[in-house]
Amino acid sequence: MAVVSTPATLERAVPVMDNAEVLRIRNDFPVLNQLVNGQPLVYLDSGATSQNPMSVIEAEQEFYEQRNAAVHRGAHHLAVEATEVFEDARQTIADFIGADYAETIWTSNATEGLNLLSYALSNAGLWAAQGRGDEALRGLALKPGDEIVVTEMEHHANLIPWQELAFRTGATLRYIPIEDNGSLRMEQAAAIIGRRTKVLAFTQASNVLGIINPVRELTALGHAAGALVVLDACQSAPHLPLDVKELDVDFAVFSGHKMLAPTGIGVLYGRQELMDILPPFLTGGSMITTVTMERAEYLPAPQRFEAGTQRISQAVALAAAANYLTETGLDRIHRWEAELGQRMVEGLESIPGIRVLGPAAGKDRIGLAAFDVEGVHAHDVGQFLDSRGIAVRVGHHCAQPLHRRLGLTATTRASAYLYNTTDDVDRFLEAVAGVRAYFRA
């Protein structure tokens, strides 16, 4: 994975994106060419859901027009073609994240991937208690006295599944606290992650703070303790070059709808030696070798975790999205978004009564900024911006503990992507500057 840096320190050999190129890119996204409340749409909510280029829309449409059939279940022509494009899509995504083909598992989204993993670990304990599996599987079972470690900044999707796993197994959930600026207290992380830690789960980039966490340092701490390391890559896979093998994580998840693909498709990466021994989460057709009336034997990964009819067209579209990002260049996308992110933070910090969460201007961050407007509720801010054609996210962003730690209940979040221009950011900042006066705060 490339070193994550501010625009000034990124490798200068990477061709620079500019507004002219971004305007050409925008033409690939039909939804962006519309008026909202009489004004050109400024879409700054890609951290929640990104928009789709025509190549992605056409890839899914072409599947339904030419190849729609169940995969792995038929010998007829359409079934064979559907299976081929479905598995080709898996290889494309494996290459996109630096994984092997069999380590790439389709899910509905990252939330399902994390729940799949947490329940598989639960089932490891059940199987071990019943004498199923080998010594390696028994080593994955959690029990009272074991610990699961997360961070204080996690999205609920990377917190609640681990809370429930702790409840089911008797393990203890602990968390790494943050500083006031959002950075992890790494000296406490080194003290918290220890011989009792069985799982360490953390986000690569915060969906609220915009901060980019030290993945390699955290992974090294986890592996030194013998823990499994789980990476939430929802806010990084769409924006940064991602190589799961280089990062040395054991598992990673991300969602297609945040990286130009449709909803309903996500990915769980898992080391093959781990996925082949973990018990499945969902059971049924397509993931078995032999079934009797008494028991079943299961296929290795990835099919082991893909029961039932799969998300075929969505997987094909996700592969098209990955190709679009690869062709544009993730290094270039990150550099452009980092510039937009700095422009947002600098502008917000210059407006009286605005508190920006996360790193201050000039510090590393993804192209995202969450902020509080003194005296005005986040929902009112969002509606004010919408009246001016600017789409942002409001609320706690599925991170209530983080907001509580920072003394807030809700914030407004603007998140940029490869189709946003500096003019988009400037229109956003101009509108934010008028919020307090409008509400007489």
State pLDDT tens for residues 60-109: 999 999 999 999 887 899 999 999 999 999 999 999 999 999 999 999 99
Considering the domain architecture, whether residues 280 and 409 belong to the same structural domain is answered as no
- Alpha-carbon gap, residue 433 to 97, rounded angstroms: 40
- Alpha-carbon gap, residue 137 to 121, rounded angstroms: 9
User: What's at 336, amino acid-wise?
Assistant: W
Considering the domain architecture, whether residues 321 and 341 belong to the same structural domain is answered as no
- Alpha-carbon gap, residue 203 to 53, rounded angstroms: 27
- Alpha-carbon gap, residue 8 to 94, rounded angstroms: 31
Reported confidence tier of residue 228, pLDDT bands at 50, 70, 90: very high
Considering the domain architecture, whether residues 233 and 314 belong to the same structural domain is answered as yes
The pLDDT of 273-283, averaged and rounded, is 94
> Does residue 439 fall inside a structural domain?
no
Range of the domain at 183: 57-326
Q: What is the pLDDT at residue 238?
A: 98
Which is the catalytic residue, given 69, 398, 408, 433? 398
Say if residues 107 and 233 touch (Cβ distance below 8 Å): no
pLDDT tens per residue, range 234-246: 999 999 999 999 9
Considering the domain architecture, whether residues 80 and 41 belong to the same structural domain is answered as no
Considering the domain architecture, whether residues 367 and 275 belong to the same structural domain is answered as no
Reported confidence tier of residue 1, pLDDT bands at 50, 70, 90: very low
Q: What is the pLDDT at residue 8?
A: 43
- Alpha-carbon gap, residue 282 to 304, rounded angstroms: 9
Query: Has residue 7 got a pLDDT over 90?
Result: no
Considering the domain architecture, whether residues 21 and 147 belong to the same structural domain is answered as no
> Does residue 2 fall inside a structural domain?
no
- Please spell the DSSP secondary structure of 339-356, one letter per residue: HHHHHHHHHHHTSTTEEE
Considering the domain architecture, whether residues 204 and 307 belong to the same structural domain is answered as yes
> Does residue 118 fall inside a structural domain?
yes
CATH of the domain at 262: 3.40.640.10
> Does residue 364 fall inside a structural domain?
yes
Looking at 3-17, 195-209, 259-273, which range is the least confident one? 3-17
Q: What is the pLDDT at residue 3?
A: 38
SS3 174: strand
Say if residues 402 and 153 touch (Cβ distance below 8 Å): yes
Of 268, 296, 326, the residue that ends a domain is 326
> Does residue 1 fall inside a structural domain?
no
Considering the domain architecture, whether residues 67 and 178 belong to the same structural domain is answered as yes
Work out how many domains the chain is built from and give that number.
2
| Residue appearing with tokens 């009246």 | 387
Q: What is the dihedral of CA 101, 102, 108, 113, to 10 degrees?
A: -120
* Structure-token pair, residue 108: 């509905």
Find all residues with CB under 8 Å of 160, minimum gap 6, and list them.
none
> Does residue 315 fall inside a structural domain?
yes
Of 295, 326, 357, the residue that ends a domain is 326
Considering the domain architecture, whether residues 193 and 220 belong to the same structural domain is answered as yes
Considering the domain architecture, whether residues 188 and 49 belong to the same structural domain is answered as no
Of 290, 311, 326, the residue that ends a domain is 326
> Does residue 441 fall inside a structural domain?
no
- Alpha-carbon gap, residue 142 to 433, rounded angstroms: 51
User: What's at 388, amino acid-wise?
Assistant: R
- Alpha-carbon gap, residue 254 to 37, rounded angstroms: 33
Indicate left, alpha or beta for 333 from its phi (over 0: left) and psi (-120 to 50: alpha): alpha
**CA distance readout (Å), 331 to 21, 93, 192, 362, 398:** 15, 17, 34, 19, 28
Say if residues 320 and 94 touch (Cβ distance below 8 Å): no
> Does residue 169 fall inside a structural domain?
yes
Considering the domain architecture, whether residues 295 and 190 belong to the same structural domain is answered as yes
The pLDDT of 261-276, averaged and rounded, is 97
* Structure-token pair, residue 39: 């004004």
Count of positions (residues) in the chain: 441
- Alpha-carbon gap, residue 335 to 16, rounded angstroms: 8
pLDDT tens per residue, range 338-395: 999 999 999 999 999 999 999 988 888 999 999 999 999 999 999 999 999 999 999 9
Query: Has residue 224 got a pLDDT over 80?
Result: yes
Considering the domain architecture, whether residues 366 and 260 belong to the same structural domain is answered as no
Q: What is the pLDDT at residue 134?
A: 86
CATH of the domain at 355: 3.90.1150.10
> Mean pLDDT, the chain, as a whole number?
95
Q: Is 234 a catalytic residue?
A: no
